[in-house]
Chain A
Amino acid sequence: MSKVTLTVNGANRELELDTRTTLLDALREHLQLTGTKKGCDHGQCGACTVMVDGQRINSCLTLAVMHEGDEITTIEGLGTPGNLHPMQAAFVKHDGYQCGYCTPGQICSAVAVLNEIKAGIPSHVSADLTVAQQTTAAELRERMSGNICRCGAYSNILDAITEVAGGQT
């Protein structure tokens, strides 16, 4: 067992965990934050995407004990049913899901993607590495490729992100 203190959605959480516990299992099984989903548990689907110190990662491929003092943001921290984050609202408006299982990961990832583009981080489809990056459909598709949707809601997901991106720039 190991002790770890995380800041999850703004609140300090002290946990005593089996060292093997992934960040994903710490969130779901120990903090009852079940918004973050477990799809593959191997980094292959993106359902477990959360933000750590502002950066999106797969919470299934990292140990909770490796995050002492880190700030974790999950889907529950982005918005609430009465006060949706703009990305959550856009997913609702554009019907960016069917079963909804991949959705929390999609939304966390989408919020981070827009920040990454703003920060000037290039992608595989960026034609020129040395200029500011654009929020084109091709860019968003490539950057969202780490989030698989079994229901195939991709085109509506893209519409939702595009709307939020438009509102931001």
Chain B
Amino acid sequence: MRSFTYERASSPAEAAAAAMRTEGARFIAGGTNLLDLMKLEIETPTHLIDVNGLALDKIETTTEGGLRIGALVRNTDLAADERVRRDYGLLSRALLAGASGQLRNKATTAGNLLQRTRCPYFYDTNQPCNKRQPGSGCAAIGGFTRPLAVIGTSDACIATHPSDMAVAMRALDATVETVRSDGTVRGIPIAEFHRLPGDTPHIETTLVPGELITAVTLPKPVGGKHIYRKVRDRASYAFALVSVGAIVQRDGTGRVALGGVAHRPWRVEAADAEMPRGAKAVAERLLAGARPTDENAFKLPLVERTLGAVLAEAKG
């Protein structure tokens, strides 16, 4: 690990200002992704701003009847919150399907959204990777691609976003609240938060340098059955090959988002409209234009079948 200096932030605006003041500064929350990558020198911050002291660890009801989840709420606490379990079961389920009990106790809402890809070549510093080292090439294309993306890819990068929680947030139409170094605040709809790789796979979100996430808000509950189905190589403690997060109403309408298939949680609003017509119709819309490799083409039928299982469970 490269050496760095360390400070504890005193307020959100001060943290954002500190991040702009110091070249090479990064926020650290749970540390479960950042420290992992710092040990491998994939991330090399020269200064860490510890945001854990900021009072951003509360879950509050909003005036619109939704929830405002502090950026530092731990994944365990979010999954266990009574309101989340009752009204946003999809979010609880997605969180509980991710990582391990130990990791969820540390992982935060903001850190989870910003966790980086698990592409094996991103992790192997001997390999070219446009995301790790812009312009160096992509070792995954033509390499081992089984876990990688099938849609929204580019010639520069075919990595996936690994978060389970983000899939639920996408289906729930969450908004990411932030503060910038000049003190201004904004809300970024989750649909506009994660970017596709394009020519700049190293730029993963629409956050600007120094921008601090303060909270994630959810609109008021929409009811329906909340189901998160994750398919992976072992029964627990593994990343998704494919995951389906869905909210299904009694009349068969609803919404759906996918994990494990793209550089961001994958949702196509036009596919939601197909839900009463069944899994095949929805999957076709969701995955129109997919460009899988020979090794990961299995993800396309896997999405359709997982979706089929989810819709059957919703009826049952």
Binding site for B on A (CB under 8 A): 2, 18-20, 22, 41-43, 46, 49, 55-58, 61-63, 65-66, 109, 112-113, 116, 119-124, 126, 129-130, 141-143, 145-147
Binding site for A on B (CB under 8 A): 1, 3-6, 28, 30-32, 35-36, 39, 48, 50, 52, 76, 79-80, 85-86, 89, 92-93, 96-97, 99-103, 105-106, 235-237
Contact in complex: A146, B237 (CB < 8 Å): yes
B110 to A: closest C-beta gap in Å: 16
Q: Provide the residues of chain B in CB contact with A55, threshold 8 Å.
A: 76, 105
**CA separation between A66 and B48, bound complex, in Å?**
11
Known: A66-B52, A122-B79. A43 touches B96 (CB 8 A): no
A112 to B: closest C-beta gap in Å: 7
Contact in complex: B76, A121 (CB < 8 Å): yes
Jot down 27 A-B pairs with beta carbons below 8 A, ordered by A. A2-B6, A19-B3, A19-B4, A19-B48, A43-B32, A43-B36, A46-B102, A55-B105, A56-B105, A61-B30, A61-B32, A61-B106, A62-B30, A63-B28, A63-B31, A65-B6, A65-B50, A116-B76, A119-B80, A122-B85, A124-B96, A129-B85, A129-B92, A143-B101, A145-B101, A145-B235, A146-B103
Q: Provide the residues of chain B in CB contact with A46, threshold 8 Å.
A: 100, 102
**CA separation between A19 and B4, bound complex, in Å?**
7
Contact in complex: B6, A58 (CB < 8 Å): no
**CA separation between A113 and B173, bound complex, in Å?**
32
B171 to A: closest C-beta gap in Å: 16
List the B residue with the shortest CB-CB distance to A105.
B102
Q: Provide the residues of chain A in CB contact with B5, threshold 8 Å.
A: 19
List the A residue with the shortest CB-CB distance to B98.
A124
List the B residue with the shortest CB-CB distance to A142.
B236
Contact in complex: A122, B32 (CB < 8 Å): no
Contact in complex: A61, B35 (CB < 8 Å): yes
Q: B92's contact among A122, A141, A143, A146, by CB below 8 Å, is which?
A: A122
Known: A123-B96, A143-B101. A66 touches B85 (CB 8 A): no
Contact in complex: B35, A121 (CB < 8 Å): no
B302 to A: closest C-beta gap in Å: 19
Known: A61-B36, A116-B101, A130-B85. A18 touches B3 (CB 8 A): yes
**CA separation between A147 and B48, bound complex, in Å?**
29
Known: A43-B36, A62-B106. A20 touches B4 (CB 8 A): yes
Known: A19-B6, A129-B92, A130-B86. A145 touches B102 (CB 8 A): no
B49 to A: closest C-beta gap in Å: 12
B109 to A: closest C-beta gap in Å: 17
Q: Provide the residues of chain A in CB contact with B102, threshold 8 Å.
A: 43, 46, 49, 56-58, 109, 146
**CA separation between A116 and B3, bound complex, in Å?**
36
B254 to A: closest C-beta gap in Å: 19
Contact in complex: A121, B85 (CB < 8 Å): no
Q: B35's contact among A22, A56, A146, by CB below 8 Å, is which?
A: A22
**CA separation between A105 and B4, bound complex, in Å?**
29
Known: A55-B105, A61-B32, A112-B101. A121 touches B79 (CB 8 A): yes
Q: A146's contact among B50, B52, B100, by CB below 8 Å, is which?
A: B100
Contacts A63-B28, A146-B103 given; 16 further ones with Cβ under 8 A?
A20-B1, A41-B39, A42-B36, A46-B102, A49-B102, A57-B103, A61-B36, A61-B103, A62-B32, A63-B6, A112-B101, A124-B236, A141-B236, A145-B100, A145-B236, A146-B100
B68 to A: closest C-beta gap in Å: 21
Contact in complex: B93, A129 (CB < 8 Å): yes
Q: Provide the residues of chain B in CB contact with A113, threshold 8 Å.
A: 101
Q: Provide the residues of chain A in CB contact with B35, threshold 8 Å.
A: 22, 61-63
**CA separation between A143 and B76, bound complex, in Å?**
12
List the A residue with the shortest CB-CB distance to B4.
A19
**CA separation between A1 and B31, bound complex, in Å?**
19
**CA separation between A147 and B101, bound complex, in Å?**
10
B75 to A: closest C-beta gap in Å: 11
A63 to B: closest C-beta gap in Å: 7
**CA separation between A71 and B89, bound complex, in Å?**
33
Q: A120's contact among B28, B50, B80, by CB below 8 Å, is which?
A: B80
A48 to B: closest C-beta gap in Å: 9
